[in-house]
A and B are shown apart, each in its own frame.
Chain A
């Protein structure tokens, strides 16, 4: 596994900086504009976006079906997108059920649906999480405080290519009377990654 800030990644970062400075020097881009674009993207990127999707899916069965079938097509219904970067990334939403639990990881680096979950937590990028969750997810989830019934089948989604993943957690019991906003407030970043129940 390659670490985040060594080897090819560090080399690539240096190349990106070099290209960036060339583009600036030739007046093709404006450093301020670039910073602003990044700041705008990151200001919008938050786990609140993923939580809104989940709350809507819990309340609207047809939206849930559309989200699971083609997430990129469903996102604009909530004024969200997987764009923000240079190109739109494919998003796949995986649904937890009574029998099946999903958890996401990127074993090669740290791929993550930043637009919907915000910047990833440090542990998500740690070698320990990346190497262990594919081998012993039940033990890793237990360390996060999530103990699953042995009958629940766990699927670990390794985002090793161009797609990004998000988990649709199960709606907690006793939330029947809650509206969309109140439901969204229950959803945590860890729930969207699959290391928490919700």
Chain B
């Protein structure tokens, strides 16, 4: 899984979500897995939540903000990530 390209969920739910707004819909590369944890988005609404894998995903600043020469890593639950098959399709 490290090295895989993924796109974060674009959803903008009315409730708490652990996908920071600035990475929504962005394409990044998986750095590593952290283990599995219940999804806070569900827990805060009192919904049952099975543990699911959490991954560190690395984004080039340019993909997030349109500028910058740095990178940002964000830890994202699996259900908020979608595989990006084709590099060309991956450009946001």
Contact = CB atoms under 8 A, between A and B. Distances in A.
Please indicate whether A and B come from the same complex rather than being unrelated chains: yes
A154 B70 contact: yes
Contacts of A157: 72-73
Contacts of B68: 135-136
Given A8-B44, A162-B54, A156 B20 contact: no
B35 interface: yes
Contacts of B61: 135
Interface in B51-92: 54, 56, 58, 61, 64-65, 68-77
Given A2-B16, A161-B18, A156 B73 contact: yes
Nearest to B72: A156
Contacts of B71: 153-156
B7 to A, nearest CB: 16
A157 B44 CA distance: 24
A163 interface: yes
B75 A159 contact: yes
Given A155-B58, A162-B54, A134 B37 contact: no
Contacts of A90: 34-35
A8 B13 CA distance: 15
Nearest to A100: B71
Q: Most A CB atoms within 10 A — which of B44, B61, B76?
A: B61
A8 B20 contact: no
Contacts of B72: 134, 155-158
Contacts of B58: 155
A49 interface: no
A132 to B, nearest CB: 11
A154 B71 CA distance: 6
Nearest to A157: B73
B76 A161 contact: yes
Contacts of A153: 69-71
Interface string B9-42: 0000000101111100000000000110100000
Nearest to A7: B16
A162 B70 contact: no
Nearest to B19: A160
B13 to A, nearest CB: 13
B70 A8 contact: no
A107 B22 contact: yes
Given A154-B71, A156-B71, A158-B73, A163 B34 contact: yes
Interface of B: 16, 18-22, 34-35, 37, 44, 54, 56, 58, 61, 64-65, 68-77
Given A1-B20, A161-B37, 6 more contacts: A8-B16, A108-B18, A153-B70, A154-B69, A156-B73, A158-B74
Q: In the A-B complex, list the 8 residue pairs whose CB atoms are closest, starting with the nearest.
A: A161-B75, A154-B70, A156-B72, A158-B74, A161-B54, A155-B71, A160-B75, A162-B37
